[in-house]
Chain A
Amino acid sequence: MQKIKLEKLNRNEALRYMGHRGEVSTALEALMEKCEAELLEHISPAFIYKVFDIEESDEGVTVCGTTLTLRGNDIREHLSGCSSAVLLCATISPAVDSFIRKKEITDMSSAFAADALASAAIEQVCTMADEIIKSQLPDKFFTWRFSPGYGDFPLDTQRDFLNVMNAQKRIGLCLEESNILTPRKSVTAVAGISDHQVERKKRGCASCNMASKCNFRKRGEHCGF
């Protein structure tokens, strides 16, 4: 598996997660810069992916040769027209959790910035993993990444998902009883694979189950999903 290394973090994205708008003060700029440099020393990205044939079923989508069913209308719609799918697991390591924990003791503003930067980092890792996967399958077309918890794709899919991917053994990715992934900054996602260009509903608030509670929307903004 190819390795991913992050050289820098998407600070603007992190600032957006932090609820910042407008001009960045010198103190804030300095904070972000320092946290980014420190955080990069603790990030070690790891990801695994695997391609499976898929079949539509009443419940949603069956992942062939596994115990995993991707339940819900949204994931079925998302994968319609695709004969296979790629399952992705990615994480940036427990050292990041420990780093943020330490910052929470000494300096809350650094902790807040580090947390947001780490969220930006895992997104960057997923995007880079996407590119690697696409380059391995050059003749194929892909849908965007869809994760458990989006729309009516249930969060409790995580358990089977991780088992099928053998994610604990391979990249140390675990799950809490409450279906929270640990290490904290980790992602699981599915993307459809097709031989032809596939039309997909745009990413956006309409396919997000947080739409009614979203802080970005309350502020009249968009999270970028």
Chain B
Amino acid sequence: MDFKSLLNNKYILLDGAMGTMLQEAGLEAGGIPELLNLTDPELIESIHKKYIAAGSNIVYANTFGANRYKLKGNSVEEVISAGVSIAKKACGGKALTALDIGPIGQLLEPTGTLTFEEAYSIFKEQIIAGKNADIIVFETMTDLYELKAAVLAARENSHKPILCTMTFEENMRTFTGCSISSMALTLNGLGVDAMGINCSLGPKQLAPVCEELMKWTNVPVILKPNAGLPDPVTNKYDVLPEDFAEQMKTAALYGVSIFGGCCGTTPEYISKLKSVLEKTDIKREKITIPAAVCSSSNTVIINQPRIIGERINPTGKKLFKEALRKHDIGYILNQAIEQTHAGADILDVNVGLPEIDEKEMMVSAVKAIQGITDAPLQIDSTIPEVLEAALRIYNGKPIVNSVNGEEKSLETVLPLVKKYGASVVGLTLDQNGIPPKAEDRFKIAEKILSRALEYGIPKEDVYIDCLTLTASAEQEAVMETLKALKRVKDELGLKTVLGVSNISFGLPNRAMINQNFLTMAMAYGLDLPIINPNIDAMTGAVRTFKLLTNIDKNSTEFIAAYNDAVPQKPVTEKKSGTVSLSYAIENGLKEDSAAATAQMLKNHAPMEIINDILIPALDKAGANFEKGTIFLPQLILTAGAAQSAFAVIREKMTSENAEPVSKGKIVLATVKGDIHDIGKNIVKVLLENYGYTVIDLGKDVPCESVVKAAIEHKVKLVGLSALMTTTLKSMEETILLLRQNNVDCKVVVGGAVLTQEYADQIGADFYAKDAMETVNIAKQIVG
């Protein structure tokens, strides 16, 4: 018997709760139940046997929390292999044993500090330890990212069937915000053998969740709900076995075919469930899964034009290139936020620059971008290793940009697309370049599709780019592109993608050409325009198209974009744009400050504005803060206004090839173990305003990274922040390591729990009681 043959049955019955049975047997709440595999194997075996007697076809070994984080020093190998042997013994060939793996117990970065790679390694250890099990089950997952690490670990370290269930609330989301469609699209792509829902609520509340899941997958669906909710005083669950079994019928009618029970259920629930399922019809029809991509919380269905934002790309952008060289992730994140605010549905991410480590940069950028936006990403690189590194750590189902008709490209890129379950952009060019005629581009599209299908990539995941040529150079080619696009759409039934702006290169009034070409392309069937969404004419063309083609029903989206969503201006005492720069800064008016700076730059030199207005305004605010006439909120508002003025100046100077002068570099970090970094970030803004270059290492920074950065950048000052008494130790260790390596720098420390006394004790050179004091210390040390 194996899992595949079980699938021929009308339904598969899993087991009920292990924890509930153990607590009935006297296990204290909070204990580590997996240790019973070593201390009381008979008890565990007897529970498995009860479930098998009740009809379970698969039992979950007692290994749910047996990971190196939760086992606190006990051997994962020993606990898991014992758990699997006990279950196998109980099964005796009558049922299958599942290696049961739950969440690690720590949140992954960026909310927590556990990295994707560490999560993978924790799961890998469990999977290897459970090598004797028949199948692998991941259950009670709430974070799609953690689940992806788990599934990859299983795929790469075993050949067993993989079953995944996540825990959803009544709002159809997990605690981390993962949606049903995102789970399904991602797991479909990763090739799991069954997926579904467990824990959290009773069968009645979870039936609608199953109904939704059915719209997104063709793999068998699992439901393993709780026996309702526990009473906080008596700890009894509120759904009885008969009711539980009856309520499960609804899910069966939707087509769920794998059933079991989670918290609060016992063998009685399982046997009642069996008798109900015997009498219930279970039918499942194959569905067509919509063409879609997703992040963990947002699914974008490609059933209408969707904007791919093109701005995260250094080509032709001085500031962007500079940011990449400085590893300034903040710059890239700003580009991401700006584009999604402007209306981008998907963001293209290209960080290729010859002199940097593109793979490392791509991974850092994708991790950071997916931490602050829910727009799905399009991974854009010409290097397969870069694509793979990003596909691994992407949280959701991304698009790969791109493959082309050349054999070498097809055989390196398509296997990656298949393995990680992405969509892919196919460019209609090959070793001979871009064919001038529509029919030849169509032929390449056909070839790309057939090769993708051979690799097992579904048709709906192939998007074709018929390539825009420049109208000024190849005017006759413009319509060829559109003709090819239409044929790909109509005859192959594929989604289409097109970079638009190239059309107008070398011509005047580019914006007008771009906008009109975009509208023409959409009329020919373009689904995914790659554009600069910050240009309103482009985003507006897409919105207008949707309105006129009756996609945007009742013009809702259009009206929301142009009537209601007028950006709210901050409350100002004078009219925006008419205030002086010093007034804007003093009153913390960000927009006014930028506007006034742009105005002044028309007839003042940048350095004049910095020295005569910005620095005196900042000094004044700093002095008032120290005197106690203004408080931290105003100081930060002022700093924010100054920051926006500096941004305008920096842009101007860079465009004139005059690099802004830095007063020197300072390394800032929130120490290892600590994730509170808002204080450090406030300090950063102030230091940057005063002209220092801040090397921001972020939060939870290992001691070694601080030392490495201090040496590499030859800084005179390192700033360390900690907010917890428990992480002060890391601060001390970081200082010690700096001293041991004879790094010639001073160390300033700050954070809520620090005192001068403690700073002295751990060997810091300075204690800064607030952000302003750090600036004063920087002036003294760096100059």
Contacts and interface: CB of A to CB of B under 8 A. Distances in A.
B110 A101 contact: yes
B640 A213 contact: no
B675 A184 contact: yes
B653 interface: no
Among A20, A108, A109, A180: residue with most chain B CB under 10 A: A109
Interface string A162-175: 01101011111011
A178 interface: yes
A164 B489 CA distance: 57
A105 B330 contact: yes
Contacts of B724: 178-180
Contact of B570 (A27, A180, A182): A27
A210 B753 contact: yes
Contacts of A65: 28-29
A172 B175 contact: yes
Interface string B81-117: 0000000000000000000000101110011110000
Contacts of B570: 27, 30-31
Nearest to A154: B726
Nearest to A86: B232
A160 B571 CA distance: 49
A152 interface: no
A97 B110 CA distance: 9
Interface string A136-147: 110000000000
Nearest to A214: B752
B176 interface: yes
Contacts of A98: 110-111, 371-372
A67 B636 contact: no
A178 B111 contact: no
Interface in A2-43: 15, 18-22, 25-31, 34
Nearest to A171: B175
A182 B106 contact: yes
Interface in B567-624: 568, 570-573, 587-590
A212 B754 CA distance: 10
Interface string B160-180: 000000010001001111000
Contacts of A106: 334, 337
Nearest to A108: B685
Interface residues of A, number: 72
Among B29, B31, B229, B633: residue with most chain A CB under 10 A: B633
Interface string A44-71: 1010111100000000000001111000
Contact of B675 (A26, A109, A182): A182
Contact of A105 (B103, B334, B640, B752): B334
Among A21, A115, A174, A218: residue with most chain B CB under 10 A: A174
A83 B167 CA distance: 35
A50 B231 CA distance: 8
A21 B232 CA distance: 42
A128 interface: no
Among B199, B232, B587, B590: residue with most chain A CB under 10 A: B232
Contact of A182 (B112, B142, B330, B640): B112
A68 B176 contact: no
B752 A215 contact: yes
B263 interface: yes
A1 interface: yes
A100 interface: yes
A183 interface: yes
B674 interface: yes
Contacts of B589: 27
Among A15, A27, A67, A107: residue with most chain B CB under 10 A: A27
A112 interface: yes
B232 A136 contact: yes
A101 B372 contact: yes
Among A1, A15, A18, A170: residue with most chain B CB under 10 A: A170
B233 A51 contact: yes
24 contacts: A18-B633, A20-B633, A28-B634, A49-B232, A50-B232, A93-B177, A94-B111, A94-B177, A95-B177, A102-B373, A104-B678, A109-B633, A112-B636, A112-B682, A160-B30, A163-B29, A170-B200, A175-B106, A176-B106, A176-B113, A176-B673, A177-B106, A182-B107, A213-B752
Interface of A: 1, 15, 18-22, 25-31, 34, 44, 46, 48-51, 65-68, 86, 93-95, 97-98, 100-102, 104-109, 111-113, 115, 136-137, 155, 160, 163-164, 166, 168-172, 174-180, 182-184, 209-210, 212-213, 215, 218
Given A27-B589, A31-B637, A182-B107, 5 more contacts: A25-B634, A27-B571, A27-B572, A34-B568, A100-B678
